[in-house]
Structure 1
Amino acid sequence: MKSIFRVLIAAALATGATGCEKALDINDNPNQPIAVEPNAILASALAVTANNYNGGATNYNSYSSFAAGFWGKSGTVSGFSEERTYSYSTNYYQGLFNSTYDNLNDYNLIEQKAATFPNHAAIARIMKVYNFQLLVDQYGDIPYTQALLGIASTNPKYDKAEDIYKDFVVQLKKAVVDIDAAKDATAVGTEDIVFRGNMTDWKRFANSLRLRVLLRQAEVPSLQAYVRTEMTALQAEVDGFLRTDAVAQPGYGPNSNQQNPFYNRYGFAVGLTRTTSEYSFVMPTNYIIQQYEANSDPRITQLYALGKRTVGGTATPAYVGTTLGEANPPTFTAANEVVGSRFLINGTFLRGANQGTVLMLLSEVLFSKAEAETRQLFVATDAAAKQDFLDGIKASFMHTFRSATAAPVSIANATATTPGIPQYEAYIAANTNNGLVNWEASTTTVRLGTETTNTNLNPTTPLTTPRTVTQQEKIIYQKYLASNTVASTEAWADYRRTALPKFPPSLQSASTRADKLPTRLFYPQTEVSTNQSNIPAGQTQYTKVFWDVLD
């Protein structure tokens, strides 16, 4: 398995104490014990995870932003054939597989020092689950039990995805137990670029990850008894769940090899006042713009810059997107009658070179709790589910309107003047009869992508006949909006798990499925070339991951 033995060449950011001065070569030889201690490695490992998740050359959220209907190709650039057709190959995003296994090896090396660094090892155990789950969710069966054995297993076997998922729960439980048992052990300091050594927050993160893992499996008929039992145990965890966004912040700043990876790719290169070329490669879809506008959602003002539409010689500012796969998508040239929208400079996605990278949104956790409560996987009242649902929306607004340098704020510590709270209150007030926003309302007139194929439809035109909205639909819908670009991979997994929301696929889709969407990635060419005998036979981009049972 080539990826496990490659030397790590990605530019990993150093700890906050030492700054982000140069790329670190962590895995000099993965077949021999490391010479440095875990507290010298942890920051770099966490920074690489952040880079792989959102912003790196091949990262989970960029791929998922197309698959989940958030992004489309602009008319400024050619290419993006895989994104427009869903006709994947073994080379498409193969870097996800390789770079994630490299990163997993870093955490594995840290975990080997558990005897003297138990807290660091517990963090590594949690982050191994985080990364392995990303792999399973994109590929299905993967190397797991033999994946990180170095020279002892040069062609590791593939384990069943369902078995791996069950071990995730075991590992996360053990990590919490290990943290509780390590109270007097070596402390974790600034090398922890996520929670700054707060091990209670790491236990909450582990519990939140368990919730994600268990909900993924909740639709599988044969696993429902197992999920219910494990959910009962999870709800009893005394430390609970995340109270703020989990954000990696290794000391990003406007210097070489130091900028936030997403900002560096889609915003501004170091020292330049002109945006990068990739800033103009992608744009929002008409669908996602429609959802914000039809719900009078002020979050759109922080996400995208206004484009324009010229009608009868009069140019009107407007949010202008693309329909994924359309032959002539909008460009950003002022001479055109239709000028597309891009990420807003200094907005949510491009706050600044020093913005942190989200590893898990608080809104995701709250919406997941609301779903578990609504489906009676957690013991709770309808009032509790409603509160978690509303708090999920509130957390998303707080994230959206937060500045680049502001630390995440918990719901409990938010005030009437906390950025995002006034906008949240206006949003709730504007949607008292909208079942996609109001917990009690059971219908909506907001259009979804499958209700019209007219791409010129005014997005604020309501349905003439309101349609029914279930509690799960409103939860997944709001979770989808909160995940836009920042956590698109979670929205993509939720769609495959629940078949919600009904966003429109690419007009050029080559998919044979009823919804015209793919379901997973191919195993990468590097793996085909080095470990083909172990790759499961007959896998395509339409082969479902085991937890994907709904259409």
Structure 2
Amino acid sequence: MKQLFKIFCIATVLGASLLQSCETTELDLRKNPNALSADQGNPDFLLNGIQLSFVSLVESLGGTGAEMTRIDYMFGRDYRNVYSPASFDGEWTTAYTQIRTDINALTPLAEEAGLNYHLGMAQFMEAYTLASLVDFFGDVPYTEANLGSENFNPSVDPGATVYDAALGLIDDAIANFTDGGAADPQNDFFYDGDASKWIKACNTLKLKLYMTSRLANSGALASFNAIIASNNYISSTADDFQFQWGVNEVQPDTRHPRYSASYTAQGGTDYMSNHQMNYMLQNDDPRIRYYFYRQNEETPGAEAPPALEVLQCSLQTPPSHYTGFPFCYLPNGYWGRDHGSDEGTPPDGFLRSLIGVYPAGGKFDDSSFEGQGQGDGAGGNGVTPILLASWVDFWRAEAAMVNNNPAGARTFVLAGLAKSVAKVQSFGSLDSSSDLSTAPTAADVADHSVAIAAAFDADNTGGWNVLGQEFFTALFGNGIDAYNFYRRTGYPNSLQPSLEPQPGAFIRSVFYSANFVNNNSNVTQKADQTQQVFWDTNPGSPAFPLSN
């Protein structure tokens, strides 16, 4: 797969979403480049911008979903304030001002030139974007959006309508990839010009939408099963839909964003989730050394004495509602934070656990216990996972559970686990500085699989908790589908509670962007975050068994 730095001869993404190349040009400073008309755009440059904006949106929404489902750490005690309207101004701008604006500019140019491959890519990314907006916000603008001066105050469309539009775009994309075109894109950062893989990704995106909306769509599971029967979807990790990052540090920084935010001269800036680390630690998960790098061998409060300066909570008594859950610290140097902790930042940048070689291109944990900084590990050469073969197995497991086939579900859980472990372990070689002799052996992997199978059989929820937690673990790097799964199933119901005893009802949909509401006379902000998206037909909070 091509590295991200190959396209960064692009100098800037203009306000009108038209890109300039780095070729030397004679600039007429009397002309405002932001005023260029759409017909002056270059389809390849536009597509470059769409791809980068798309990945940015996935990273952002995926992080939010991961925080709410404890895959990642969430900062803040009150859900209403953690995810305020202003929190989503960036995502809203990326989706509408960048992605959809650029697609609208690209479409007539590509249609005129017969660039079907360009169109197919754009339609796929627009479909994923629209569905994700519905998943998080509910009803969103579509038919009246991006009309410019024709309508500065677009109304929202029903979420179900937007989902249908997304499915239509996927069909259009498949048709375009099937037909081929006059020329391939200059840069296809996902499949490097392989239309057959794009068609598999399109069908896999359909699987995702059908499974997500199955509670509100009586025909969703039948449509899901029809795609499975076609065998034309992402079933092998070789076809995984993901974005590959590079190792450049400046001009431009092509590293995985979570790497560049954590491997710094001042040490780590992100905290890892105590819940996720604890789940993997308790189950001897062979992926734990790839997901997390321990900069310190001991954790205050566990092997080491409590330390007020670097881990204040190690001197505190666990809150009463934390009975049965880890509080503050984990053993063996797994140094993270609890869900909803709002402590300040102590001098622990070279002590806390960092995100590892998967997916961010960080350091493989070889028990060296060294502070890490810029350039260490794999240098940021990680991926943003978007649609993986392992995730399809977990969707199939969910379908089996819905059809009262727990034995079949267990088979798919173990299949998804096997694919996830193999993929994650392949990232170890990216960190040439690590001692891979400490990596889990084939026997370790087999023992873990047996243990998960036994846990599934013993699960007092009939397997739902194990299915959910294993799915969440495989989703590490993109929590969009974890947030969706949690709302449509209510599992796993064993997630670490928020540190605040009364954090507010679990978020069923997030607030609209502040900029969108404040500048649109046709839209009113939601009263709270308990409004459910169209496919979430479960009882409302707090009756539905969702953890706070």
TM-score interval for Structure 1 and Structure 2 normalised by the shorter chain: 0.7 to 0.9
Residues 98/287 of structure 1: CA separation in 2 closer, same or farther (3 Å cut): same
Q: Distance in 2 between matches of 1:140 and 1:52?
A: 17
Amino acid at match of 2:388: L
Amino acid at match of 2:84: S
Q: Distance in 2 between matches of 1:313 and 1:303?
A: 22
| Partner in structure 2 of residue 93 of structure 1 | 88
CA contact (8 A) 2:359 2:382 kept: no
| Partner in structure 2 of residue 341 of structure 1 | 352
Which of 209, 213, 218 is matched with 2:209 structurally? 213
1:119 and 2:109 matched: no
| Residues 205-258 of structure 1: CA deviation (Å, up to 9, x unaligned) | 1111111111111123xx22x213422443344523353321223755233223
Residues 370/47 of structure 1: CA separation in 2 closer, same or farther (3 Å cut): same
Structure 1 position 518, deviation (Å)? 1.7
Aligned pairs (5 A) from 1:135-146: 135-146=133-144
Residues 31/386 of structure 1: CA separation in 2 closer, same or farther (3 Å cut): farther
CA contact (8 A) 1:370 1:388 kept: yes
CA contact (8 A) 1:286 1:323 kept: yes
| Partner in structure 1 of residue 513 of structure 2 | 524
Residues 296/160 of structure 1: CA separation in 2 closer, same or farther (3 Å cut): same
Aligned pairs (5 A) from 1:25-40: 25=14, 27=17, 32-40=37-45
Q: Distance in 2 between matches of 1:251 and 1:197?
A: 19
| Partner in structure 1 of residue 64 of structure 2 | 63
Structure 1 position 150, deviation (Å)? 2.7
Amino acid at match of 2:447: A
- Secondary structure of 1:71 counterpart: coil
Amino acid at match of 1:483: L
Q: Distance in 2 between matches of 1:493 and 1:248?
A: 22
Q: Distance in 1 between matches of 2:383 and 2:504?
A: 39
Which of 447, 452, 457 is matched with 1:429 structurally? 447
Q: Distance in 2 between matches of 1:51 and 1:256?
A: 18
Amino acid at match of 1:207: N
CA contact (8 A) 1:246 1:360 kept: yes
Structure 1 position 402, deviation (Å)? 3.1
Aligned pairs (5 A) from 1:489-528: 489-502=480-493, 503-508=495-500, 511-513=503-505, 517-528=506-517
| Partner in structure 1 of residue 280 of structure 2 | 292
Q: Distance in 2 between matches of 1:311 and 1:153?
A: 58
CA contact (8 A) 2:291 2:357 kept: no
- Secondary structure of 1:144 counterpart: coil
Structure 1 position 317, deviation (Å)? 3.8
Residues 82/95 of structure 1: CA separation in 2 closer, same or farther (3 Å cut): farther
Q: Distance in 2 between matches of 1:298 and 1:135?
A: 34
| Partner in structure 2 of residue 104 of structure 1 | 100
Q: Distance in 2 between matches of 1:250 and 1:321?
A: 25
- Secondary structure of 2:271 counterpart: strand
Aligned pairs (5 A) from 1:41-440: 41-54=46-59, 59-72=60-73, 80-81=75-76, 88-101=83-96, 102-112=98-108, 113-115=110-112, 116-180=114-178, 182-183=179-180, 185-220=181-216, 223-224=217-218, 226-237=219-230, 239-241=232-234, 243-244=236-237, 245-249=240-244, 253-263=248-258, 265-268=260-263, 274-275=265-266, 279-280=268-269, 282-306=270-294, 307=296, 308-310=298-300, 317-326=332-341, 331=346, 333=348, 341-344=352-355, 346=357, 348-349=359-360, 350=362, 351-376=378-403, 386-403=410-427, 423=441, 426-430=444-448, 432=450, 434=451, 437-438=452-453
- Secondary structure of 1:141 counterpart: coil
Q: Distance in 2 between matches of 1:333 and 1:340?
A: 5
Residues 298/422 of structure 1: CA separation in 2 closer, same or farther (3 Å cut): closer
Amino acid at match of 2:257: F
Q: Distance in 2 between matches of 1:257 and 1:540?
A: 40
Which of 524, 529, 534 is matched with 1:541 structurally? 529
Q: Distance in 2 between matches of 1:404 and 1:108?
A: 41
187-196 vs 228-237, which moves further: 228-237
- Secondary structure of 1:34 counterpart: helix
Residues 123/487 of structure 1: CA separation in 2 closer, same or farther (3 Å cut): same
Structure 1 position 491, deviation (Å)? 1.1
Please list every run of 5 or more consecutive structure 1 residues that lacks an aligned counterpart in the other structure.
1-12, 74-79, 407-417, 444-466
Structure 1 position 289, deviation (Å)? 1.9
Q: Distance in 1 between matches of 2:203 and 2:488?
A: 20
| Residues 78-105 of structure 1: CA deviation (Å, up to 9, x unaligned) | xx44777655432123211111112122
| Residues 148-202 of structure 1: CA deviation (Å, up to 9, x unaligned) | 333322222210001211222222123212322x23x223245111100111111
Q: Distance in 1 between matches of 2:487 and 2:446?
A: 28
Q: Distance in 2 between matches of 1:255 and 1:359?
A: 25
| Partner in structure 2 of residue 479 of structure 1 | 471
Structure 1 position 298, deviation (Å)? 2.4
CA contact (8 A) 1:16 1:191 kept: no
Structure 1 position 522, deviation (Å)? 0.9
- Secondary structure of 1:531 counterpart: coil
| Partner in structure 1 of residue 479 of structure 2 | 488
Larger helix proportion of the pair: 2
Matched pairs, number: 468
541-550 vs 385-394, which moves further: 385-394
- TM-score when scaled to structure 2? 0.75
Please list every run of 5 or more consecutive structure 2 residues that lacks an aligned counterpart in the other structure.
19-33, 306-330, 363-377, 431-435, 539-543
Q: Distance in 2 between matches of 1:383 and 1:527?
A: 47
Residues 423/174 of structure 1: CA separation in 2 closer, same or farther (3 Å cut): farther
What is the percent sequence identity of the aligned residues?
19
Q: Distance in 1 between matches of 2:127 and 2:438?
A: 32
CA contact (8 A) 2:107 2:119 kept: yes
Amino acid at match of 1:176: I
Structure 1 position 474, deviation (Å)? 3.0
Amino acid at match of 1:228: L
Q: Distance in 2 between matches of 1:21 and 1:510?
A: 48
Residues 155/237 of structure 1: CA separation in 2 closer, same or farther (3 Å cut): farther
Q: Distance in 2 between matches of 1:134 and 1:218?
A: 16
Residues 326/167 of structure 1: CA separation in 2 closer, same or farther (3 Å cut): closer
Structure 1 position 287, deviation (Å)? 1.7
Q: Distance in 1 between matches of 2:103 and 2:428?
A: 28
| Partner in structure 2 of residue 461 of structure 1 | none
Structure 1 position 482, deviation (Å)? 1.2
Residues 242/167 of structure 1: CA separation in 2 closer, same or farther (3 Å cut): farther
